[in-house]
């Protein structure tokens, strides 16, 4: 059976961010497997473009910040669904696009919620408080699991948010582009420094300041380190002040995935320390380049790192600094080979195969 899968998304990160990468890689896989794919995203104006990886429909949407737009009027996205008549829909937004589930139910179309974030921890981080968040998120999730035919999560940590809600839960780990991110992209220079890197958005929901705090702690201990920060975001200037005289270099946005791979490969250790990350594509990208990773001891990123390829610690300056010191003490070519082997366990083909099995199970609703 040929499926016609509509992917609906409000990109809430940079266009090269993790959610965009995941949606694009899955979409390419659907097309490669012989299915039809329609990607519905916000844009400056309404447009429809046919590409080798399916049809891309931009829905006119307001700008909500300098970098992002959001489909604030879901009926615009529903009109696209009416036009293309999909067999299943895949929604990557729990807020403004959730009405698509009701549209799908009314039209006998299978619906999948792809849960890219864990709302309880994410909102607690944004609001800097836990009070009231659990109740509000619990109510939203109970509604979502009733409206959608299935919910996809990428880690056990992400699964916890839907525990005991009766959801049709599918755990589908994401993959990594093993051709772009590879050990031949480079290697760290032997100059006596432990070269650390952070690649991602400079915004507190990603906890980049925790990496800087760990670098400050390591510098205080006299550990010869340099932390290279790659990315942009609203907390950049705040972290420059936080770093003080610690050897932390802010390089700004890195253009192109090949260049990102080179930055990972040139590092001894990559820091992906956000304790509320539901998966952590940056972890796999670093590992694929042969760079071991330090994570927090909770969150989805932690599930990707074992003793063969990295370390982890409590999400505070001392805990992460301790993990870096433990890992720095065992840096070796064998460790870098083990990192690559770990990444090779996560392929996009495996992710696509699982997602297609889900879509095929729901496609018979028509």
Burial annotation 317-351 (CB, 10 A radius, 16+ → b, else e) = bebbbbbbbebbeeeeeebbebbbebbeebbbeeb
pLDDT score of 133: 62
Alpha helices in 85-196 (DSSP H): 99-106, 119-127, 133-147, 156-159
Q: Which domains does the chain have, with CATH numbers?
A: 4-175+347-363 (3.40.50.2000), 183-343 (3.40.50.2000)
Rounded CA-CA distance 40/120 in Å is 26
Note the pTM of the prediction, 2 decimals: 0.92
Confidence of residue 98 (pLDDT cuts 50, 70, 90): very high
- Closest to 272 in 3D by CA, of 284, 259, 262: 284
pLDDT grade for 123, boundaries at 50, 70 and 90: low
Residue with tokens 């990160």: 13
By DSSP bridging, strand 310-313 and strand 248-252 are unpaired
User: Does residue 182 sit in helix, strand or coil?
Assistant: coil
Query: Quick check: 319 pLDDT over 90?
Result: yes
Span 165-217, pLDDT tens digits: 999 999 999 999 999 999 999 999 999 999 999 999 999 889 999 999 999 99
**Range with the lowest mean pLDDT among 119-123, 137-141, 277-281, 330-334?**
119-123
Q: Would you state the pLDDT for residue 12?
A: 45
- The 10s digit of each residue's pLDDT in 240-287 is 999 999 999 999 999 899 999 999 999 999 999 999 999 999 999 999
Handedness of CA 235, 155, 28, 337 (dihedral sign): positive
């Amino acid at each position: 059976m040929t499926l016609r899968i509509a992917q609906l998304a409000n990109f809430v990160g940079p266009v090269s961010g993790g959610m965009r990468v995941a949606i694009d890689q899955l979409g390419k896989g659907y097309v490669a497997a012989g299915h039809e794919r329609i990607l519905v995203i916000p844009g400056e104006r309404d447009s429809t473009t046919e590409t080798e990886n399916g049809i891309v429909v931009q829905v006119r949407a307001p700008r909500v910040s300098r970098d992002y737009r959001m489909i604030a009027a879901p009926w615009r996205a529903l009109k696209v669904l009416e036009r293309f008549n999909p067999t299943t829909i895949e929604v990557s937004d729990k807020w403004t696009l959730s009405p698509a589930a009701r549209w799908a139910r009314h039209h006998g179309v299978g619906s999948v919620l792809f849960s890219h974030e864990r709302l309880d921890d994410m909102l607690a981080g944004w609001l800097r408080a836990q009070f009231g968040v659990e109740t509000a998120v619990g109510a939203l999730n109970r509604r979502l699991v009733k409206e959608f035919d299935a919910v996809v999560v990428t880690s056990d940590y992400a699964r916890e948010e839907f525990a005991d809600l009766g959801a049709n839960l599918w755990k589908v780990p994401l993959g990594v582009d093993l051709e772009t991110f590879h050990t031949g992209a480079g290697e760290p220079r032997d100059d006596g420094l432990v070269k650390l890197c952070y690649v991602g958005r400079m915004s507190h929901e990603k906890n980049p300041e925790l990496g800087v705090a760990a670098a400050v702690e390591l510098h205080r201990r006299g550990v010869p380190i340099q932390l290279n920060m790659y990315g942009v975001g609203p907390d950049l200037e705040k972290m420059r002040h936080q770093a003080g005289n610690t050897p932390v270099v802010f390089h700004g946005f890195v253009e192109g995935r090949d260049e990102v791979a080179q930055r990972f490969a040139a590092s001894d250790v990559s820091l992906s320390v956000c304790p509320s990350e539901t998966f952590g594509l940056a972890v796999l990208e670093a590992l694929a380049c042969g760079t071991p990773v330090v994570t927090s001891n909770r969150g989805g990123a932690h599930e990707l790192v074992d003793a063969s390829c990295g370390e982890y610690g409590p999400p505070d300056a001392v805990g992460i600094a301790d993990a870096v010191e433990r890992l720095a003490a065992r840096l070796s070519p064998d460790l870098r080979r083990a990192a690559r082997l770990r990444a090779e366990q996560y392929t996009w083909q495996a992710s696509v195969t699982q997602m297609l099995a889900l879509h095929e199970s729901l496609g018979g609703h028509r």
